[in-house]
Amino acid sequence: MNYLHHGQLRAPISDVHELTNLLRQMDFKVVSLLDLNFQEMHSAVTEFLLLLDKGVYGLLYYAGHGYENYGNSFMVPIDAPASYTSQHCLCVQNILTKMQEKETGLNVFLLDMCRVRNPNDDVKVQPGLLKVTANIVFGYATCVDAKAYEVNREDVANGIFINFLKQRVCENEKVTIMLDRVAEDMGRCAIARADVDVDLKQSNQETLLEAGSLLLIKEELRCPDVPSLYTRIHSLQRLRRELTFTVCLHYTYANMDEEVEEKQPVTVGKPLVSKLNLYEPRTPRTCSASSFTSVSSSFVEEFPSVSPTSNTWPYYVESSNIDSLTSSRSANVPEECDSPDLYDAPPSPVSSKSWPHGQMNDANYRFSDMSNFNSY
């Protein structure tokens, strides 16, 4: 991640790629974005909220710089100034408030960031009226008032949090139990507590290939005999018009000395991330709970199945009820397992089906689809 005024992060590229693949293998609708400034991050959250509806499961994963003040977590965009405050960042609890207004079935937040206090920010942000419900789950990369770390070692492809999360995320277990096991695994990890070279939120690899990314880079993949035909395009979310390439072909005939040049423009349209028009302001630059407003979106049209009648399996389902779920298309409001107070158990998002409210006390939520799981 290319922060303008803070340390650069490379590991989130491979982490986002890893988690995206796992969620898609479980039939989730996933959109991954990198290097977002404040406006783009704000717009992306607004678009995300438009996908949610009654009974939908929502999951939001964030990897990058962040901090926590007075129980509120803040995500830092790449254009945040050196001495940033809550006015330059997005408050996670504000997002949760708007998700609750959608009557979502499950809200999951996976925050791969630091949780130390911000000495430049003494403002207590009021995220609005948060409901104390049992369908809120938070997964953190570190404990309260602590920093998140990444390890510089050749045998580690991902950040510490994702390295352990990817081993557990498809377990047939409650999400809270799964995240507890991830935390236990991290506590026993030698590279997280032993004498190793640890950099604060710095990349554990020097290149995208070493980080396990499938993004191909011309300089990295040059073949000794055949020139590389791959390159990487940055910041596609800022594309305002259709993407057009000009293909140039240079060749000579056997009986000619002069080189012949042919050019052909190729239009590939606008990638999905650019269709969001994240550069367009949605609301005034504020961290209030009312800062996320409902607007029309072409993004929703790309995912017509994300609705109360979606066939996508929920993140957690009771294995004994899978058959009954396939025959039921009702939009109900499930609640995820037993949970302490709102600030004792963190939130999280995803999307799919749900149970009648009356069945929630006896229901155990489990990951339902592990048939296509592949670790890297």
**Amino acid identity for residue 96 in this structure:** L
Taking a C-beta distance cutoff of 8 angstroms, is the pair 204, 154 a contact? no
Structure tokens at 328: 């039921």
Rounded to whole angstroms, the Cα distance separating 208 from 247 reads: 26
**What CA–CA distance (Å, rounded) separates 17 from 158?**
10
Q: Where are the beta strands (DSSP E) in 146-215?
A: 149-151, 198-200
Two tokens, residue 28 = 């989730």
Q: Are strands 198-200 and 90-91 parallel, antiparallel or unpaired?
A: unpaired
Active site residues per annotation? 65, 114
3-state secondary structure of 53: coil
Which secondary-structure segment (H or E) carries 177? helix 175-188
User: Among 336, 355, 354, which residue's Cα sits nearest to residue 345?
Assistant: 336
Q: How far apart are CA 90 and CA 36, in angstroms?
A: 12
> What is the sign, positive or negative, of the torsion defined by CA atoms of 34, 40, 45, 50?
negative
Find out whether 106 and 347 touch, Cβ atoms under 8 Å. no
356 three-class SS: coil
Q: Which residue has the tokens 């979502």?
A: 104
Q: Which stretch of DSSP H or E encloses residue 251?
A: strand 243-251
